[in-house]
Structure 1
Amino acid sequence: MTYVKPTELVQTVIDAGASKVMLSTRDTLIRSIMGGAILTLAAAFAVTISVTTGSPLLGALLFPIGFIMLYLLGYDLLTGVFVLAPLAWLDKRPGVTLGGILRNWGLVFLGNFIGAFAIAVLMAIVFTNGFSTPPNEVGQAIGHIGEGRTVGYAEHGANGMLTLFVRAVLCNAMVATGVVLAMVSKDVIGKIVAMWMPITLFFFMGFEHSIVNMFLFPSGLLLGGDFTIGDYLMWNEIPTVVGNLVGGLLFVGLPLYVTYGRPAAPRRLRPSRRETAAARTASTDAPVAAR
């Protein structure tokens, strides 16, 4: 399998970031809607597996299927462009401005939400037989997830908010790693294997992903979860978005860019003490005429 070394990888990541910022509004929205839909359908799939088999680990192992499909198709997630676009700006790519980055983030957020909300409605129909029966066991589980990750945090006040934020930071440390690793190989199998590892980790650890939550919480509200839209925004989505941004940049984007995109000058070799002493002796012993 092909392997792209980190120095070349960083340039590929920067190129990708520049292309995202310069993409048209129409294409940005379409790609982000599809990205949000595919990822959140995979989240519904993973929860279904966890509930029906009683094995959360199996759900986490299979959840990356959605992430892999959307990135192989070139679709977008907010958590991904949080890393890609700023690196293109740091590298001073033509046309990449802070305004352009904020525009890209806003469009991708909107598109991801549309895609995730559409899946939330469609899966709520599936879980309730068109809203004609109470939610099945999977639907009930999703409702409880929404309660635990909003009201559950709120019960702990500032400590709950800190926990939520840290979970969001750690989440995108892994998800952004998956985004970058999608470019570490030039063949499909290599890309799949590389992306699979960090995404499995984030999902099984219960970290907070802003796009997955765009599905889980609207679904929870549709399926009878005991929390409000305000709870969702204040005690999950907004802090999660901020944490995802910090995690992706702090733990993935900036370290890669600083050490491979703009590496420091290598250290100069300094002669050892023995070599220095030998040089001095040779200079002292040299004939006067030669000095």
Structure 2
Amino acid sequence: MAYLMPSEFVTKMVDAGESKIYMSARDTLVRGYMAGAILALAAVFAVSVAVATGSHLVGSILFPVGFCMLYLMGFDLLTGVFMLTPLAWIDKRPGVTIGQILRNWGLVFVGNFAGALTVAVMMAFIFTYGFNTDGGAIATKVAGIGKARTLGYAEYGLAGWFTIFIRGMLCNWMVSMGVVGAMISTHVSGKVMAMWMPILLFFFMGFEHSVVNMFLFPFALIMGGDFSIGDYFLWNEIPTALGNLVGGLAFTGLTLYSTHVRTAPKRKLEARTFAATSNEAA
């Protein structure tokens, strides 16, 4: 069958989380690096399309191409491991510890950041012809986004910080739905369709994705964005990553696991008794 039942794909989620925990440091870093680089290319592609067409919707429709490519190649995003790896611990898989989970998150974060930063520098070099021009309309657009999504939040203090946090939660709710969606189908076309829908939603709605931001904000700084590295981490990356963690695990991982693996007791006996009583009455 091209479609897996929920009980089947949720078990795949737990298996995937366990396998990522036991992956070697080298493989984790390489897969994280490539995921960050590909997603960064997708982000600059989407911004370029939006600037060229004047339509944020068109850019949002095309952005998921990066997510689909990196997932099909087996690369890892921080947002995905936030949701998958804790399930192996919750499921009491042998030998899985909190320390191993944190190790995996740390390695994936480093890999994602290195990949995204590499693409940020490369694209900045391209747009400025070796840092000899101002970068044009795309550089101006990204620099403005960087300032608006750091200092723009900072203007509202704690409320602004929690706004980013909630946007991060909503983002990884959708992104992790894309990860799970790819496990539902055994066909490439089905995987792509299942991934495309939630990724399109998060990007168009302007939710905050920690790995996309690993590219966007360094690129904006290189392009002359009027904010600091400290502003980026305090007023975006940290609350975004925390929101991604909570949203992906709470809204997707735990909800699916709790109702499709650790299901509540089914009232089969009561149901049969009720049916028999109804038949006798009829």
TM-score (structure 2 length as normaliser): 0.96
SS in 1 for 2:183: coil
Match of 1:126 in 2: 126
Match of 1:26 in 2: 26
> Hey, what's the Cα distance between the residues in 1 that align with 2:31 and 2:200?
23
Q: CA RMSD in A?
A: 1.5
Q: Is the 8 A contact 1:22 1:95 kept in 2?
A: no
Match of 1:101 in 2: 101
Instruction: After TM superposition, list the pairs within 5 Å mapping 1:1-291 onto structure 2.
Output: 2-267=2-267, 268-269=269-270, 271=273, 275=277
- Give how far 1:95 is off: 2.6
Q: Provide Cα deviations, 1:186-235, integer angstroms capped at 9, x if missing partner.
A: 11111000000000000000000000000010001000000000100100
Residues 159/128 of structure 1: CA separation in 2 closer, same or farther (3 Å cut)? same
**5+ residue gaps in structure 2?**
none
- Give how far 1:274 is off: 10
Q: Is the 8 A contact 1:76 1:108 kept in 2?
A: yes
> Hey, what's the Cα distance between the residues in 1 that align with 2:14 and 2:66?
24
> Hey, what's the Cα distance between the residues in 1 that align with 2:254 and 2:218?
33
> Hey, what's the Cα distance between the residues in 2 that align with 1:274 and 1:259?
28
- Give how far 1:273 is off: 11
Identity %: 60
SS in 1 for 2:67: helix
Q: Provide Cα deviations, 1:10-39, integer angstroms capped at 9, x if missing partner.
A: 111111111100000000000000000001
- Give how far 1:94 is off: 2.0
Q: Provide Cα deviations, 1:95-129, integer angstroms capped at 9, x if missing partner.
A: 32111100000000000000000011011111211
Task: Give the aligned residue type for 1:47.
Answer: V
Q: Is the 8 A contact 1:29 1:111 kept in 2?
A: yes
- Give how far 1:161 is off: 1.2
Task: Give the aligned residue type for 1:275.
Answer: T
> Hey, what's the Cα distance between the residues in 2 that align with 1:221 and 1:273?
68
> Hey, what's the Cα distance between the residues in 1 that align with 2:235 and 2:113?
17
Q: Is the 8 A contact 2:177 2:198 kept in 1?
A: yes
SS in 2 for 1:269: helix
> Hey, what's the Cα distance between the residues in 2 that align with 1:188 and 1:79?
22
SS in 1 for 2:266: coil
> Hey, what's the Cα distance between the residues in 1 that align with 2:229 and 2:2?
46
> Hey, what's the Cα distance between the residues in 2 that align with 1:108 and 1:99?
14
Q: Is the 8 A contact 2:162 2:239 kept in 1?
A: no
> Hey, what's the Cα distance between the residues in 1 that align with 2:232 and 2:118?
17
